[in-house]
Each structure stands twice: as structure tokens, then as C-alpha cells.
Amino acid sequence: RKVGVALKGVPYVTTHDGRTIRYPDPLVKVNDTVMVDIETGKIKDFIKFDSGNLCMITGGHNLGRVGVVQHRE
């Protein structure tokens, strides 16, 4: 949800569920999907939100459908 810099220049990422992850990969941007290791709280992997990537619909009448991102608004 949010990527920023805290006090003393510490970079951080805030997730949709309120987790704050310090010192993330510099390539992680807002709207990217991150895979977090629950035990350590660190980012294991991330997927860019970009045209051409696979996606799964998580709400509405098309719930559960898989498709390819055509464009971003």
C-alpha cells in the first residue's frame, strides 16, 4: 500500500494488513505483490504489477478468474 522512508533514512513498505517491513528490496513499489515469510517477517519474493503479468480476480462477479493484465489505470 505504501512505500516510504522513515526517520534516519530507513526505507519501509506497509502492506494491506498493516505490517511494516523495514529495508525492503529497492525494486518493490506500490501495488506490487510481496511474499512474506511469517516467521521472520521478511520479503521472500515479489511480483511487479505491470502489463503482461498473470492475475487472479479476488472480488466481484468474476471472482476466481485468471487473466493477463492488459493495462493499468
pLDDT of 13: 93
The Cα 4–Cα 59 span in angstroms is 28
Question: 2-68 belongs to which CATH class?
Answer: mainly beta
Total-model pTM = 0.68
pLDDT, residue 12, reads 92
Q: Above 90 in pLDDT, residue 11?
A: yes
**Would you state the pLDDT for residue 72?**
84
pLDDT tens per residue, range 16-67: 888 888 888 888 899 888 999 989 988 999 988 889 999 899 999 999 999 9
Residue 61 exposure: Cα atoms within 13 Å on the Cβ side: 0
Q: Residue ranges of the domains in the chain?
A: 2-68
What pLDDT shows up at residue 24?
85
